[in-house]
Amino acid sequence: MLLQAWLEVVCILIATLLAACAVAPWLAAIFRIDTADSVPGRCESWLERLERPVLRLAGVWPVCEMTAGAYAAAIFVFHAAGIILLVAIQRLQPLLPWNPDQLPAVPWLIAINTAASFATNTNWQSYGGETTLSPLTQTLGLTVQNFLSAASGLCVLAVLTRGLVRRDSRTVGNFWQDLVRSTLGLLLPLAVLLGLVLASQGVVQSFGTAIEVPLLDQSLPTAAATPTKQRIVIGPVASQVAIKQLGTNGGGYFNANSAHPFENPTPLTNLLEIVAMLTLPIASCLAFGRWVGDRRQGRALLAAMAMLFLPFLLIIVRCETQPSPLLAAVTPAIDQTASGAHEGGSMEGKEVRFGPAASALFAVGTTATSCGAVNAMHDSFSPLGGMVAMWMIQLGEVVFGGVGTGLAGLIAYTLVAVFIAGLMVGRSPEYLGKKIEAREMKMGMVVLLVPLIATLIGTAAACVLPSEASAALNPGPHGFSELLYAFSSAANNNGSAFGGLTATSGFWTLSLAAAMLASRLLTMLPLVAIGGSLAAKRTVAESPGTLPTHTPLFVLLVAGTVILVGALSFVPALALGPLAEALQPLPTAAGGGKP
């Protein structure tokens, strides 16, 4: 069974790598990384025809390059406008069309939380999608933000890369042009293609909003008031699923997310959704090598990500493909061996159509990539399996990470690693010919520390407030894990939920919204500042003492820096949660019942 599980995982990872290699040249061609007077790329004229009418309508044509400060201001204004518009759509929902169920206005606190969530690419959901939001709100509000939040992440990566490539430059590109190119030139075509494939496999895509079907068993005696039909909500699901996976957004049309059969009906759609959420983060590494003129640099960063990803994947697949000891202790014993009905292993909280291996890969993929979509209940994973999912988030969402922001965050870790290496050998730290000085390190530490601080302070506040700590369904270490996971997910813009947490009170909605906004803006804006600072510098010629940044030693240095920050920051908290739960003795069954 374990061999079959690993064959399944390896096949999915190979498919992902092939897809990323195919997309990387496309992604590399979208942005003009060098100065504005550089020779246009082969697809430059096509992109200009695509963007000209949109930018002219927005009043920013002809395009003028921005300084880092102007670029950061544009990002801030864009996010603020997106949040205000999304709150307005939710509050005006009963007055807007395409609301066949006459759903009321979303409560203020939930509306603010949801707007902050989707505008920041977090997609934390404190509501049930099919029972709270109309199809118009889902499409015009959430799906649009799925595109735009992912595109803004790519913009930040473009700025940071320009900083490494340009010399003596005061400008770092134009945000509005980068945004349009990311959305119309890359994300929209990929989402249309994936949406069509998903729809062909049974993912619902309809302008209709509900269907009524007769109950499967009509033979049971029913009272006069007992319904004989079931109402099933449908809608434009495939279009939202496509961009939620490609853009590492994660917000589902239905409350069950990718565990719902209308969002993820078959093993093939499950494979496609895993491939989709990993493709652009991996392709970003390969495109980075093209942008800086040395493909080894991109492969080195990808190797550092893989070095962090694969051991955790090994742990979680191993844990979840083993029978659950809690169920094994039940009298009479529950059969957890592989059979024709399911793959065996720990199936609690998992869909039979996927099995434990694909569910484990989905879980570690969604937490590594900042996607947040789920096809199983992380709350039902083994203690160590749940810890893997949680720690992948806590490492800063740089192990692949979100679209654009994942690689940009890893570059921030890389600058720290280069700085540490420079201190150890007594040389001025350099990366790709640019000296790393105090300004870059200050901004880099903001990027690294803001999510960490938001996670730990938020969790501590929830623990000391009895009314808020009681929102966790379970007591003891598992309940603490539910609180810790919620703030880890929000503060690192992941959006997945451990489960077992009622996060609808004023404290939870507002504190999680604050964590999402702080971690998104206070990481993106410093990254833009780093890009502007580097762009203004001259390139330093390599010397015999220059640290090579494409070797296995450098890969180890970067991966070690990520682990060091994550370990020192979160191991104490993890020891109180999943580690303590894993070390607890198993309860014994009494009287032939459940333990």
CA torsion sign for 559, 562, 567, 568 is: positive
- Token output for 157: 């990566």
- Alpha-carbon distance of 113 to 137, in angstroms, equals 15
pLDDT for residue 447: 95
Beta bridge partners of 211: 232
Helix 383-394 and helix 476-491, axial crossing angle in degrees, nearest 10:
30
Residues 6+ apart with CB under 8 A from 484: 390, 455, 459, 573, 574, 577
What's the total number of domains in the chain?
Answer: 1
Cis peptide before 62, with omega less than 30 degrees from 0?
yes
Which residue is listed with tokens 């729809």? Answer: 199
Beta bridge partners of 232: 211
Residue 299 maps to a domain: no
Hey, what long-range contacts does 471-477 have (CB within 8 A, 24 or more apart)?
A: 471/501, 471/502, 471/503, 471/505, 471/508, 472/500, 472/501, 473/499, 473/500, 473/501, 473/502, 474/500, 476/580, 476/581, 476/584, 477/383, 477/576, 477/577, 477/578, 477/580, 477/581, 477/584
In 3D, which of 196, 200, 198, 160 has the Cα closest to residue 178?
Answer: 160
Q: For residues 101 and 136, is the Cβ–Cβ distance under 8 A?
A: no
Residues 6+ apart with CB under 8 A from 241: 195, 198, 203, 252, 253, 258, 263, 264, 273
Residue 538 maps to a domain: yes
pLDDT for residue 224: 57
- Alpha-carbon distance of 101 to 111, in angstroms, equals 19
Residue 87 maps to a domain: no
Q: Give the rounded distance of the alpha carbon of 320 from its chain centre.
A: 22
Domain assignment of residue 574, given as a range: 405-583
pLDDT for residue 595: 34
Q: Give the rounded distance of the alpha carbon of 477 from its chain centre.
A: 26
Entry pTM: 0.94
C-alpha distances (whole Å) from 227 to each of 130, 210, 231, 307 are 20, 16, 10, 55
Residue 413 maps to a domain: yes
Q: CB neighbours (10 Å) of residue 117? A: 32
Residue 570 maps to a domain: yes
Q: CB neighbours (10 Å) of residue 319? A: 22
- The 3-state secondary structure of 33-50, one letter per residue: CCCCCCCCCCCHHHHHHH
Residue 433 maps to a domain: yes
How many CA atoms, within 13 angstroms, populate the side-chain half-sphere of residue 403?
A: 36
- Alpha-carbon distance of 107 to 122, in angstroms, equals 20
In 3D, which of 284, 90, 293, 118 has the Cα closest to residue 187?
Answer: 284
pLDDT for residue 32: 84
pLDDT along the chain (595 residues), means of 10: 80 95 94 66 77 90 93 97 98 95 95 97 94 95 96 97 94 95 95 97 91 77 67 93 96 94 95 97 96 95 96 93 80 71 80 91 95 94 94 92 95 93 83 92 94 96 94 92 96 91 94 97 96 93 82 94 86 94 74 36
Residue 519 maps to a domain: yes
pLDDT for residue 4: 79
Residues 6+ apart with CB under 8 A from 108: 91
Q: Which of 65-97 are b and which e, b meaning 16 or more Cβ less than 10 Å from the residue's Cβ?
A: bbbbebbbebbeebbeebbebbbebbbebeeee
Q: What is the dihedral of CA 394, 400, 402, 407, to 10 degrees?
A: 100
Residue 451 maps to a domain: yes
Residues 6+ apart with CB under 8 A from 368: 309, 312, 392, 397, 399, 400, 401
Radius of gyration of the chain (CA): 24
In 3D, which of 425, 457, 419 has the Cα closest to residue 441?
Answer: 419
C-alpha distances (whole Å) from 331 to each of 174, 235, 325, 334, 346 are 66, 44, 12, 8, 17
pLDDT for residue 39: 46
Q: Which of 441-461 are b and which e, b meaning 16 or more Cβ less than 10 Å from the residue's Cβ?
A: bebbebbbebbbebbbebbee
Q: For residues 388 and 312, is the Cβ–Cβ distance under 8 A?
A: yes
